[in-house]
């Protein structure tokens, strides 16, 4: 469904899932809540998981009133009460986070999609076979 997701609540939870690091804000403060909602709409498994997770969290006011440890405790509680939905949601959140150019820059990674550029094929060096080639054939005759 993913109709009435409170983006403030989701953003607060995302900040606990992937907290700030170096000069990068947490996943929520980066504004990923909207992207998580929009991309979850494309696959009903994702949107069901998102709905379950958000509905299982405390209300927005109650969640934001908790301190960091309290928020982590609430997330851990839903992780154990709804493990399948939580893990799928977590996978979606992780994947979207690691699509962000700012995240790639911080990781010092090129961030390109695999194609069309690809990488460079190293040379084939036959000398690596030196030891294993010495072995006598040992396959079992049948």
Partner 1 sequence: MTSPIHNPDRTADVLIVGAGASGAAVAASLSEAGFDVVCIEQGHWQDSFKYPTIEPDYELRAMSSWSINPNKRRLPEDYPVNVDDSAIEPVMFNGVGGSTILWAAHTPRLHPSDFRVKTLDGVAEDWPISYEDLEPWYDLNDQVMGCAGIAGDPANPPRSERPMPPIPIGRDGEMLAGAFDRLGWHWWPSDNYVNSTRYGEGRDACNFCGHNMMGCYQRAKSSTDLNYWPRAIDQGTELVTGARVREITTDLAGSATGVSYLDPGGNDRHRAARAVVVAANGIGTPRLLLLSNSEKHPNGLANSSGLVGKNLMFHVYAGVTGIFPDNEDRWVGPAANMILSQEFYETDPGRGFVRGYSYQTGRGQGPGATARGGSRRVPWGADHHVQMQRRFGNTVSLGIIGDDLPEEHNSVTLDEYLTDGSGLPAPKITYRVSDNSRAILDHALVQGQKVLEEAGASEIMINPHSREAGWHLMGTARMGDDPERSVVDRNGQSHDIDNLFIVDGSVFVTGGAVNPTPTIQAIALRTADYITRERKDLKTR
Residues engaged in binding partner 1 (CB under 8 A)? 16-19, 21, 39, 42-43, 45-46, 72, 75, 87, 90-92, 94-99, 103-104, 107, 109, 113-126, 128-129, 131-133, 135-142
Shortest distance (Å) from residue 13 CB to partner 1? 10
CA distance 89 to 84: 9
Shortest distance (Å) from residue 5 CB to partner 1? 18
Please say whether the beta carbons of 8 and 59 come within 8 A. Answer: no
Beta-bridged to residue 21, according to DSSP, are 24
Q: Both tokens of residue 40?
A: 């979850």
Q: DSSP secondary-structure letter at 127? A: G
> For the CA atoms of the chain, what is the radius of gyration?
22
b/e burial code for range 40-69 (CB count within 10 A of at least 16 → b): beeeeebbbbbbbbbebbbeeeebeeeeee
Shortest distance (Å) from residue 70 CB to partner 1? 13
Please say whether the beta carbons of 21 and 64 come within 8 A. Answer: no
By beta-carbon proximity to partner 1, the closer residue of 5 and 15 is 15
By beta-carbon proximity to partner 1, the closer residue of 4 and 114 is 114
By beta-carbon proximity to partner 1, the closer residue of 3 and 123 is 123
Shortest distance (Å) from residue 69 CB to partner 1? 10
By beta-carbon proximity to partner 1, the closer residue of 5 and 96 is 96
By beta-carbon proximity to partner 1, the closer residue of 17 and 66 is 17
Shortest distance (Å) from residue 31 CB to partner 1? 17
């Amino acid at each position: 469904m993913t109709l009435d997701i409170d983006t403030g609540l989701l953003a607060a939870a995302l900040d606990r899932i992937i907290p700030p690091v170096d000069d990068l804000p947490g996943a929520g403060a980066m504004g990923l809540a909207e992207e998580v909602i929009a991309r979850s709409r494309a696959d009903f498994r994702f949107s069901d998981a998102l709905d379950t997770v958000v509905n299982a969290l405390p209300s927005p006011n109650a969640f934001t009133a908790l301190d960091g440890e309290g928020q982590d405790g609430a997330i851990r509680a839903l992780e154990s009460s709804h493990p399948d939905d939580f893990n799928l949601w977590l996978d979606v959140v992780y994947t979207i986070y690691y699509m962000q150019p700012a995240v790639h820059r911080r990781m010092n990674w090129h961030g390109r999609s695999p194609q069309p550029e690809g990488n460079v094929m190293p040379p084939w060096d036959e000398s690596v076979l030196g030891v294993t080639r010495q072995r006598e054939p040992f396959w079992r005759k049948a």
